[in-house]
C-alpha cells in the first residue's frame, strides 16, 4: 500500500462519486477505479458498495476512513516536526560566553533567539576563552563567545564586536581628573591582570601595549572574571586594562578613561566546531551575526 492509495480512497469516500473524485485528484476515472480495486484486494475487504446510481462506504470502509484520517494527520505532524528540526527550531543549545559579553552582545542575541526559536532549550555557561575552547572540543558546549581571535584546529571563529581597550581606575586615583591617560605615565602603576593561562591572546595584547610604551606591567593581582577585576580596582589594589564595554557595568569607586595613544582593539568572537552540521547551531550563528550587525549599524547611525 502506498500513500497515494489513502489519498485516492479519501477522495472517493468524501465525494461518494468516482467521477467527481477523479476531477478532484486530477486523474481520469478508470485509473482511479482500478486503484481502489487494488486497495480492496490488498486489504481483502470491500470498502465501497457500488451501484449504477450511488457509491456508499461499507462498515469496513467507514472504519478505514477514520483511521486514514489519523494516519495522514500523524504524517503531517511528523513532516512538520522534521522540518522544524531541519530549520533549527527545536532542540537544545549550550552556549559558552566570557563575562564581558553580558555587557554587550549576549543579552540581545539571547533575547532575539528566544523570541524566534522558543522551542529550543538554551543552556548558558560563563567560561573563560580557554575553557570554552576545551568545552567545544569535548562537545560540552555548542557555540562559544570568546575574547580575541583564537586560532585553534577544528574550530571556526567570526568577529561580532570590536571595541577599544580603556583604563579602569579607582575614583581616587590622580589620573581620574584627566579626560585621557597616556600609556607612558603608567610605568610605576600596579595592575590587575587577566591570567595568561586563561586568556593568553588578551593577556599578550595587554603586555604588547605596555611594552610599546617602554615598560612591563607590575602585577598586583590576577583575576579571572572582569567583574572581579573591576571590584579589585574599586578596592584600590591597582588599575586595569579592560574592554570599553565594561563602562556598561557601573561600579561604585571605579572610573573609566580612554587611552591617549592608539592601541589595537579587542574583540568578541563566535566560536564553533568547523564540521558541526546541527541546524540549531547554524540557526544561532546566523541570528547572532545578523543581530550584532544590526546593532552595529544602529550605533553607526547614532554616531553620524
C-alpha span between 161 and 147 (Å, rounded): 10
CA distances from residue 48 to 11, 23, 67, 69 in whole angstroms, order as listed: 12, 19, 16, 17
Q: What digits encode the pLDDT tens for the residues 102-130?
A: 888 999 999 999 998 888 889 999 998 98
Task: Report the pLDDT value the prediction gives residue 164, as an integer from 0 to 100.
Answer: 92
Q: Which residue has the higher pLDDT, 293 or 102?
A: 102
Domain range for 118 is 91-161+267-303
Number of domains in the chain: 3
- Mean pLDDT in residue range 256-271: 93
Same domain, 132 and 103: yes
Q: Residue 144 sits in a domain of what CATH number? A: 3.40.190.10
Same domain, 133 and 271: yes
Same domain, 200 and 57: no
Asked if 173 contacts 254 with a C-beta cutoff of 8 angstroms, the reply is: no
Task: Report the pLDDT value the prediction gives residue 41, as an integer from 0 to 100.
Answer: 86
- Mean pLDDT in residue range 285-293: 89
C-alpha span between 111 and 130 (Å, rounded): 26
CA angle 173, 176, 182 (to 5 degrees): 100
Q: What is the pTM (predicted TM-score) of this model?
A: 0.67
Task: Report the pLDDT value the prediction gives residue 295, as an integer from 0 to 100.
Answer: 54
E-only strand ranges, the chain: 48-50, 55-57, 91-97, 120-126, 143-147, 155-163, 165-170, 190-193, 218-222, 240-243, 254-258, 266-273
Q: Residue 22 sits in a domain of what CATH number? A: 1.10.10.10
Same domain, 113 and 191: no
Same domain, 155 and 298: yes
Same domain, 34 and 155: no
Residue linked to cell 527550531: 89
Q: Which residue has the higher pLDDT, 304 or 241?
A: 241
Same domain, 106 and 64: no
pLDDT surpassing 70 at residue 210? yes
Task: Report the pLDDT value the prediction gives residue 91, as an integer from 0 to 100.
Answer: 80
Asked if 72 contacts 103 with a C-beta cutoff of 8 angstroms, the reply is: no
Same domain, 179 and 241: yes
Task: Report the pLDDT value the prediction gives residue 85, as an integer from 0 to 100.
Answer: 66
Same domain, 185 and 258: yes
Q: Which residue has the higher pLDDT, 168 or 227?
A: 168
Which of 86, 113, 134 finishes a domain?
A: 86
pLDDT surpassing 70 at residue 84? no
Same domain, 180 and 191: yes
pLDDT surpassing 60 at residue 301? no
Same domain, 189 and 66: no
Same domain, 96 and 146: yes
Which of 39, 60, 86 finishes a domain?
A: 86
Q: What is the mean pLDDT of the chain?
A: 87
Which stretch of 55-59, 220-224, 263-267, 294-298 has the lowest confidence by average pLDDT? Answer: 294-298
Q: Report the side by side order of strands in the sheet with 254-258.
A: 240-243, 165-170, 254-258
C-alpha cell at 31: 485509473
Which of 60, 86, 112 finishes a domain?
A: 86
Amino acid at each position: 500500500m502506498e500513500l497515494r492509495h489513502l489519498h485516492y480512497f479519501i477522495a472517493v469516500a468524501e465525494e461518494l462519486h468516482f467521477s467527481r473524485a477523479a476531477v478532484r485528484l486530477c486523474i481520469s476515472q478508470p485509473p482511479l477505479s482500478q486503484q481502489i480495486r487494488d486497495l480492496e484486494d490488498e486489504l481483502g475487504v470491500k470498502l465501497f458498495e457500488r451501484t449504477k446510481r450511488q457509491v456508499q462506504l461499507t462498515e469496513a470502509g467507514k472504519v478505514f476512513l477514520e483511521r486514514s484520517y489519523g494516519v495522514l494527520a500523524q504524517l503531517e505532524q511528523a513532516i512538520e516536526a522534521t522540518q522544524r528540526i531541519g530549520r533549527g527550531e527545536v532542540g537544545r543549545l549550550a552556549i559558552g560566553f566570557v563575562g564581558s559579553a553580558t555587557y554587550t552582545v549576549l543579552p540581545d542575541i539571547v533575547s532575539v533567539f528566544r523570541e524566534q526559536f522558543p522551542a529550543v532549550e538554551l543552556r548558558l555557561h560563563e567560561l573563560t576563552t580557554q575553557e570554552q575552547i576545551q568545552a567545544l572540543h569535548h562537545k560540552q558546549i555548542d557555540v562559544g563567545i570568546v575574547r580575541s581571535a583564537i586560532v585553534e584546529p577544528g574550530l571556526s571563529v567570526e568577529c561580532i564586536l570590536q571595541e577599544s581597550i580603556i583604563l579602569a581606575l579607582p575614583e581616587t586615583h590622580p589620573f581620574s581628573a584627566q579626560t585621557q591617560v597616556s600609556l607612558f605615565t603608567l610605568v610605576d602603576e600596579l595592575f590587575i591582570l587577566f591570567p595568561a593561562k586563561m586568556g593568553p591572546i588578551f593577556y599578550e595584547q595587554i603586555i604588547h601595549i605596555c611594552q610599546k610604551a617602554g615598560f612591563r606591567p607590575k602585577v598586583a593581582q590576577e583575576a579571572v572574571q572582569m567583574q572581579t577585576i573591576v571590584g579589585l580596582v574599586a578596592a584600590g589594589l591597582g588599575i586595569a586594562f579592560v574592554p570599553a564595554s565594561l563602562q556598561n557595568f557601573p561600579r561604585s569607586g571605579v572610573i573609566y578613561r580612554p587611552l591617549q595613544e592608539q592601541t589595537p582593539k579587542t574583540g568578541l568572537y563566535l566560536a564553533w566546531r568547523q564540521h558541526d552540521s546541527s541546524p540549531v547551531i547554524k540557526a544561532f550563528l546566523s541570528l547572532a551575526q545578523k543581530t550584532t550587525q544590526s546593532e552595529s549599524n544602529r550605533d553607526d547611525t547614532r554616531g553620524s
